[in-house]
Amino acid sequence: MWLTYRQLNRGGLKLAQESVRDRYERVKLMRTYCAHVIPGLVQTRAYTTRALESIRIEQHVEIDDVAEAVAERMDRQRVLRRPDARFVFVLEEQVLHHRVIPARQHVEQLEHLLRVARLPSVSLGIIPLTTDRSRLGHRVWPEHTFVISDADLVTVELVSGFLSVSQPTEVADYLAAWDRLFGLAVHGEPARRIITEAADRLDA
């Protein structure tokens, strides 16, 4: 299913945020890959505010309900504490350096990422900038940001709209892409070190 952002946001950003909440509350395993932005579930209030303000301007959303939409997204983050679900994130390292908020707020975002990564339901992997992307026997290219909900739905955020993929053969393609990208990521202390170093450079 293809849904343009104009369609999604015509009732305001808060309604758009509410429209996906059920998926987050029902999912058992959510796998998120990001090459450009911090994922919404692990954003700070400042980062989310800037992101949704930009969306409102770029997509010509007439209703100004950014504050309400931010509150909805912040409340949604409670799902990260669900004992019956697992949330796995793989981020390209450059995501940590794409600064769209003031330096101090960006440092706070990176520190928040470190705290969230310690939650029992969360797994965080970082693909280092220096990774040899051919070491798995073939070149593993960066992809669009995508989210796999369980193993039957993939959502992809593009410039003009939101793509939902449910055909089993296409979902399988995304699962294969996830496996390739996950295989490049570092986790645990190496991932925390990369995030900390990014924050330290801004602090300096």
- Per-residue pLDDT tens digits for 70-84: 999 999 999 999 999
Which of 141, 143, 142, 14 shows the shortest CA–CA distance to 71? 14
Residue whose entry in the numeric block shows the structure tokens 């998926």: 23
> What's the confidence (pLDDT) of residue 138?
64
- Per-residue pLDDT tens digits for 39-49: 999 999 999 99
Which of 77, 71, 72 shows the shortest CA–CA distance to 116? 77
> What's the confidence (pLDDT) of residue 5?
81
Residue whose entry in the numeric block shows the structure tokens 């509150």: 71
pLDDT at 59 over 90: no
Q: Write out the residue range of the structural domain in which residue 119 sits.
A: 2-203
Instruction: Give the three-state DSSP class for 143.
Output: coil
- Per-residue pLDDT tens digits for 132-166: 888 655 678 888 999 999 999 999 988 888 899 99
pTM of the model: 0.93
CATH code, 82: 3.30.870.10
> What's the confidence (pLDDT) of residue 159?
83
Query: φ, ψ for residue 62 (rounded to 5)?
Result: -75, -40
Task: Provide the domain count of the chain.
Answer: 1
Instruction: Give the three-state DSSP class for 190.
Output: helix
- For residues 29, 31, 37, 41, the Cα torsion angle rounded to the nearest 10 degrees is 10
- Per-residue pLDDT tens digits for 87-135: 999 999 999 999 999 999 999 999 999 999 999 999 999 999 998 888 6
d(CA 63, CA 14): 10
Q: Provide the pLDDT confidence category of residue 61 given band limits of 50, 70 and 90.
A: confident
> What's the confidence (pLDDT) of residue 192?
97
- Per-residue pLDDT tens digits for 176-202: 999 999 999 999 999 999 999 999 998
pLDDT at 65 over 70: yes
